[in-house]
Amino acid sequence: MKIDHSLPLEYSTEENRLKILGFWIFLGAEIMLFATLFASYFVLADRTGSGPAGSEIFELTPVLIETILLLTSSFTIGLGIHAMRIGNKKAMMTFFAVTLLLGLAFLGFEIFEFFHYVHVGAGLQTSAFTAMLLTTLGTHGAHVTFGFFWGLAILLQVKKRGLTPETTNKSFIFSLYWHFLDVVWIFIFSFVYLKGMM
Amino acid sequence: MEFFERFAVPHPSPAIYASMVAIGLTVIAILAGLTYFKKWGYLWREWLTTVDHKRIGIMYLISALLMLFRGGADAIMMRAQLAVPENQLLDAQHYNEIFTTHGVVMIIFMAMPFIMGLMNFVVPLQIGARDVAFPRLNALSFWLFFMGAMLFNISFVVGGSPDAGWTSYFPLAGTEFSESVGSNYFMIAIQIAGLGTLMTGINFITTILKMRAPGMTLMKMPMFTWSALITNAIIVFAFPVLTVLLAMGTMDRLFATNFFTTDNGGMDMLWANLFWVWGHPEVYILVLPAFGVYSEVISTFARRNLYGYKSMVASMVIISLLSFLVWAHHFFTMGQGALANSIFSITTMAIAVPTGVKIFNWLLTLWKGKIVITTPMLYSILFIPLFTIGGVTGVMLGMSAADYQYHNTMFLVAHFHMVIIPGVVFAMLAGLTYWWPKMFGFMLNEKIGKSAAWTIAISTLVAFMPMFFSGLDGQARRMYTYSESTGFGIWNMISFIGAAGLAIGFALIVYNVYYSVRYSPRNISADPWDARTLEWATHSPVPEYNFANVPQIDSIETFWDSKKKGHIMFKGDYEKIHMPNNSGMPFIMSCIFFAWGFSFVFAMWIPLIITTIGILVCMALRSFEKDHGHYISVEEIEETETKLRGAK
């Protein structure tokens, strides 16, 4: 394995560079996935049948808390990657751990939010709107859940194996994923919640 | 007993029972054969765990051929049923199931793997790479496709086949009108195969962008590689739409949501729109690699460089963009209004322009060429007029006002078969024949190959031209029978004869494989067609590492230059080569996916949860695994190279 020391560790081998490009392409596919969900959401947003409309069920407080949690986690993982670049393993692991905890808190609030929707009569089967809402949020939430376990696995590997070309590569790719989920959430916050509450 | 009742076929017939027995016997025969000849270890080591793009390519091709015969059997049954008016061979339900599975199998489980197979085998060789960017992901792609295909194929003996058409429009495909588990199979089997396809897309874009031999700029890539790059870009942008769509369809069927229902706000047209947002690009996913094959074959056997290289690339890029802007032409009659119809009509007809550019480029390549008629070339030359018939009728269908006459008639069926058979199937057969010696080290018999090509071409015309007439006369598609007074009988009888001719043509291809395995000479050179691209610069069959030295590229046709102008492609001494390790993980994970899909189809929640955990565990194991591949030493390379050169 040829290691190019003029590049950051996560880019230092040919295999690593391939993986990073491949992951960007995967994120392109993810954009299409969420774009389809958003397009379907816009089509079905007003088709509430006999169920409630968005303005009747959305509550700003939990959504705002979720937003702050997730945006902060995107910031902390950025700090984690910076720590990784300067070779500070301990700081990197701390920031990653904080990121994952923030993600977990986000999920907690989202689960609470889902209970709230079901409680006020906006379950999966109520109307096309509720099904689409819960599917869009749920797909994002499932990504965060998956990311939590993925990040945990990477954290364990960094702890055990240190900052090697492989572990830094994995951490960097994971940070791309995590930032992407943040971007998606910004769209959800603006076009699902804010638009729905207006 | 109650537990097993759900697996019963809702509309059994003697044919289905016979198939059950046949499937059972075949499986037993395969298992017994493997045990008797002690081939289990060989199968596991060399094929099930392989990450070699060439072997994966060959497995794709074998699957595609198997599915071709499955889909072909469906086609023959349909044409036999319609051959005479008021025929009682099949009842309406069976006919519905058969046209549904015919469509799905031919598009998703035959044409797609055929293309993936050729791409897998050829693209890394054409760009001078050792393998694809992510070899293990590539194996996973194949096995997911394979398990998706198998899951779909068991539907007709376990629980019942889907019967809502390959487009599976809601509300017809909803639980109200499709009660059996058939449409669950549709949603879940295609989902599993689609995941594999998406991974292939990512894999090949990365491979082509990053792993080309030194000196090969994008505009020096062979045309087939260009077509693969553009196709995979379409895959990455189109398949996630399908993923979401199928997930929503699954939820409607299994979780009683209301996405596509007709009450509680559901919108059935959302399915039709999203389906074709994926479905139309899918058409170009199929046909662009086919165009790539024709470009290679025509240039090789016209003995000159491809005319209009840049315009070929540009037209493919334009086609790929337009392919996302035409989806509504599949349902002009479903009430979206004159303005929308006009816009989609114009974008549809616009596609004829870049496609026309390609046709003229091929014709101009032939012009002043020294044409050699070989089997692949014969397919390519037959393709041009036949495809033009399909293309021109496509422009007719694209006129939204006139479409009210053609919509859902046999005219449409004739159109898309005249596009897909000459466009895709001919290309795949041409490609298979063309690259066969590179895969297996001997050639297919030319005489049998050419008679098969003629039989298939003539039978295509006989089978599908009558449908244009009966369609214009008003024969609806997807109707299991018609009355004698309609006068459709004669057209359908001619079609049936054509279908039988196609069956003979494909049987000839099978015979050709058998004949050539037995009698074809094995002492052929590595470049038997006197071809122009890089894959012919290495040995046949290709060694594991593809090229002992990485080739140095300085023009579009470096290999041709090396033969004619003495350009030296391979410089320097051998160096040890890094190769990926084999892994059983993709196969095992895909088997779990199969069980996952099966549990999902039958809404068995506990096995579903267990298999979901199993899939996640596989991913976690992969994450913690340390796999640095292995090296092939210089001595080993020298030994292999000497052996292969000696065999020439």
Task: Tell me what ipTM this predicted complex has.
Answer: 0.95
Task: Pick the residue from chain B with its C-alpha nearest to A40.
Answer: B270
Cα of A5 vs its chain's centroid, Å: 31
Residues of A in contact with B257 (CB under 8 A): 124-125, 128, 131, 135
Give ∠ CA B396-B397-B403 in degrees, rounded to 5.
Answer: 110
In a domain, residue A6? The reply is no
In a domain, residue A21? The reply is no
Residue B390 — pLDDT band, cuts 50, 70, 90? very high
The DSSP annotation for B185-216 comes to HHHHHHHHHHHHHHHHHHHHHHHHHH-PPTT-
A131 → closest Cβ in B203, B205, B251 = B251
In a domain, residue A14? The reply is no
In a domain, residue A20? The reply is no
Please state, in angstroms and rounded to a whole number, the distance separating the CA atoms of residues B291 and B316. 9
Q: Do A22 and B203 touch (CB under 8 A)?
A: yes
Only one residue has tokens 């039709």, namely B272
What was the pLDDT predicted at B1? Answer: 60
The 10s digit of each residue's pLDDT in B184-212 is: 999 999 999 999 999 999 999 999 999 99
What was the pLDDT predicted at B562? Answer: 87
The 10s digit of each residue's pLDDT in B44-89 is: 989 999 999 999 999 999 999 999 999 999 999 999 999 999 998 9
Please state, in angstroms and rounded to a whole number, the distance separating the CA atoms of residues B39 and B48. 12
The 10s digit of each residue's pLDDT in B90-125 is: 999 999 999 999 999 999 999 999 999 999 999 999
A49 → closest Cβ in B206, B244, B265 = B265
Q: What is the mean pLDDT of residues B215-232?
A: 95
Residues of A in contact with B259 (CB under 8 A): 40, 44, 128, 131-132
- The one-character DSSP state at B407 is T
> Could you tell me the maximum CA-CA distance found in chain B, to the nearest angstrom?
78
Residue B347 — pLDDT band, cuts 50, 70, 90? very high
B274 → closest Cβ in A36, A132, A157 = A36
Please state, in angstroms and rounded to a whole number, the distance separating the CA atoms of residues A109 and A99. 16
Residue A1 — pLDDT band, cuts 50, 70, 90? low
In a domain, residue A35? The reply is no
A22 → closest Cβ in B198, B206, B241 = B206
Please name each of the domains of chain B with its CATH number: 50-301 (1.20.210.10)
Distant-in-sequence, close-in-space partners of B636: CB < 8 Å, separation ≥ 6: none
Point out which residues pair with B577 in neighbouring strands.
Answer: B632
Task: Pick the residue from chain B with its C-alpha nearest to A150.
Answer: B620
Residue B6 — pLDDT band, cuts 50, 70, 90? confident
**Domain enclosing residue A191, as ranges:** 61-197
Residues of B in contact with A32 (CB under 8 A): 236-238, 240-241
Only one residue has tokens 């899939």, namely B615
> Which helix (H) or strand (E) element contains residue B646?
helix B634-646
Q: Report yes or no: B395 and B352 within 8 Å, Cβ to Cβ.
A: yes
Q: Do A40 and B244 touch (CB under 8 A)?
A: yes
The 10s digit of each residue's pLDDT in A99-119 is: 999 999 999 999 999 999 999
How is chain A split among helix, strand and coil, in percent rounded to 5? Answer: 80, 0, 20
In a domain, residue A167? The reply is yes
Total domains in chain A come to 1
Indicate if the pLDDT at residue B648 is higher than 80.
no
Q: Which residues of B435-467 are buried (b: 16+ CB within 10 A; e: fewer)?
A: bbbbbbbbbbbeebbbbbbebbbebbbbbbbbb
Q: What is the mean pLDDT of residues B314-341?
A: 93
Please name the residues between 143 and 172 in chain A that touch chain B, using a CB distance below 8 Å: 149-150, 153-154, 156-157, 170
Question: Residue B577 phi/psi, 5° resolution?
Answer: -115, 130
Indicate if the pLDDT at residue B624 is higher than 90.
yes
| Least Cα separation, residue B577 to chain A (angstroms) | 11
Average pLDDT value over all residues in chain B: 93
Percent of chain B with pLDDT over 90: 80
A8-12, B17-21, B516-520: lowest mean pLDDT where?
B17-21
The type of residue at B243 is T
Percent of chain B with pLDDT over 70: 99
Percent of chain A with pLDDT over 70: 99
Q: What is the mean pLDDT of residues B245-260?
A: 95
In a domain, residue A185? The reply is yes
What CATH number has the domain bearing residue A152? Answer: 1.20.120.80
Please state, in angstroms and rounded to a whole number, the distance separating the CA atoms of residues B426 and B384. 10
In a domain, residue A31? The reply is no
A44 → closest Cβ in B243, B267, B628 = B267
Indicate if the pLDDT at residue A82 is higher than 50.
yes
| Least Cα separation, residue B203 to chain A (angstroms) | 7
The 10s digit of each residue's pLDDT in B143-200 is: 999 999 999 999 988 988 999 999 999 999 999 999 899 999 999 999 999 999 999 9
- The one-character DSSP state at B542 is P
The 10s digit of each residue's pLDDT in A183-198 is: 999 999 999 999 988 7
The 10s digit of each residue's pLDDT in B18-51 is: 888 888 888 899 899 989 988 888 999 899 999 9
What was the pLDDT predicted at B341? Answer: 93
